[in-house]
Amino acid sequence: MNSPLSREEKAAGPNRSQAGSGRALIALRDLTKVYQEGERLQPVLRQVNLSIHSGEFAVLLGRSGSGKSTLLNMLSGIDLPTSGEVVFSTDRGEVNLTRLSERERTLFRRVHIGFIFQFFNLIPTLSVEENLLLPLELNGRTGPPARDRARGLLEAVGLADRARSFPDRLSGGEQQRVAIARALVHDPLLLLADEPTGNLDLETGQRVLGLLDRLTRQRGKTLIMVTHSPEVIGVADRLLRLHAGQVVVCDDPAEASG
């Protein structure tokens, strides 16, 4: 099969976990999340300990309801754990997300994190280019350098000619390519993708994944992706499976797809 995510490509390309510095970008320490609804307590994460290496591509597997999105929300600081810590190593030292205020976490996220969602989540009232300018503007970056940066990313995803289009004029695959450009435009430390091909047909999904893999690899970015795509399982640096509130590292891809 002529897949954009062949094993050959993986073998030829740099291995991110080796290409990266090998140091931990993120340390999860005894991370626990218990949701409460009325009297009912639902433990979703149970004392998870895990390091994410700088530059690695980790795939997060697990059944529906196992807590994958919950874990991404902890990693991005959108939500706080019940106990435990999420610690990032940045070029300015360690940042413990769990000790920051909500406002500080929002600022951290704007600077350091890029998201790609199943339903693209582009802003419908903004043009493609304006969607890319927004994360830059939120970081105080405006004017010609910001526009150059946005155009460069649109070129990288092959959509330079759609800069002035509105999202509803684009196909699903094109919208997701815009979302990839938007997630990278502010040069974040970490990319989080939650079932990014869940709303695309198989072939479009494979192209989008190939693009995401290539662009993040070229830029040495750390990528954590929730997906069920067997294609991705072949190119990821590490497979993580959430089960019964614990993260298990799978060494055997056959075990991972089971």
Interface ranges with ligand ADP (CB under 6 A): 35, 37, 42, 44, 62, 64-70
- Within 53-92, the residues that bind Mg ion by CB under 5 A are 68-69
Q: How far apart are CA 123 and CA 6, in angstroms?
A: 33
**Which of Mg ion, ligand ADP, none lies near 62, with the C-beta cut-off 5 to 8 A by kind?**
ligand ADP
Question: In the complex, what is the shortest distance from the CB of residue 55 to ligand ADP, in angstroms, rounded to a whole number?
Answer: 25
Looking at beta carbons only, is 78 or 134 nearer to ligand ADP?
78
CA gyration radius for the chain?
A: 18
Question: In the complex, what is the shortest distance from the CB of residue 175 to Mg ion, in angstroms, rounded to a whole number?
Answer: 19
Looking at beta carbons only, is 8 or 39 nearer to ligand ADP?
39
Question: In the complex, what is the shortest distance from the CB of residue 194 to Mg ion, in angstroms, rounded to a whole number?
Answer: 6
Q: How many residues does the chain have?
A: 258
Looking at beta carbons only, is 68 or 177 nearer to Mg ion?
68
User: Comparing C-alpha atoms, which of 256, 250, 245, 248 is closest to residue 70?
Assistant: 245
Q: How far apart are CA 98 and CA 102, in angstroms?
A: 9
Cβ-contact 36, 209 below 8 angstroms? no
| Helix, strand counts (H, E) of the chain | 10, 10
CA distance readout (Å), 109 to 57, 200, 241: 19, 27, 25
Token pair, residue 203, equals: 């072939």
Question: In the complex, what is the shortest distance from the CB of residue 2 to Mg ion, in angstroms, rounded to a whole number?
Answer: 30
Looking at beta carbons only, is 68 or 241 nearer to Mg ion?
68
Given the rule CB under 5 A, which residues bind Mg ion?
A: 68-69
